[in-house]
Every structure is written in C-alpha cells, then in structure tokens.
Amino acid sequence: MKKILTTIAMVVALLGAGEAAHAQMPSPQEMAMNQLNRMSSELKLTKEQENKIEPLLVTRVEKMMEFRQTGMDREEMMGEMKKINESQMETLKAILTPEQLEKYKTMQTQMRAGGPRN
C-alpha cells in the first residue's frame, strides 16, 4: 500500500509542476493502462484478471485526478487515497492468486523504496 501512496505522491508532484507538465500528463485511462501493463507483465495476469483489475485502476486514477482538480488539501487527499487503496487491495485479494498478491506487495515495497519500475 505504501507503494501506491508513493506512486500517488509522485503523480501529485507531477501534477503540481505547472500547466506545461499538466498538458503532457497522460489521461487517467492511459495512466491506468500503464499500471495494468506493468502489473500484467510482473504478475503474469490472465485476461480475466486484467478485465477485473482495469476498472479498479481507472477509478483510482480518476478519483486522484478529481481530488487534485478540486484543490483538495494534500493531507486530506492522501487520507482519501489511502481509503481507496485499502479498498482496492481488498478487491485485489479476491482477484489475484496468493503468489501474485505477494509479488504485488513486493512491487509496492520496491516502489516505496524508489526501486525500478518495469
């Protein structure tokens, strides 16, 4: 979960970089697809798993963008995103195999530590 929070913080930082950065930011769907592609590659997701995970990622990114656009306070936004991420993790537990879930948690840990993003 900390990996997700780190990712959110990084996206928030990019969004706050100004209009030029904003104009170059991918859409929420593109951001979600990038995340899904990385997850699919790393976790070896089935098509069925991808189809279940995609809407979760899109919703999460859209909410994050919505919070940012409304000018929500950073601490409040982080609190709201934490709730969304916890809910997403619970849903992922029902979609991913135990092995995939452990690998996903490892991926999050690596992201929090600033590790490689494949």
Domain residues of the chain, as ranges? 33-112
Helical ranges in the chain per DSSP H: 2-15, 19-24, 28-43, 47-69, 74-95, 98-112
* Cβ atoms < 10 Å from Cβ of 113: 10
Quote the pLDDT of residue 38.
93
- The tens-digit pLDDT sequence of the chain (118 residues) is 666 666 666 666 666 655 455 557 788 889 899 999 999 999 999 999 999 999 999 999 999 888 888 888 889 988 998 899 899 999 999 999 999 999 998 988 887 777 655 4
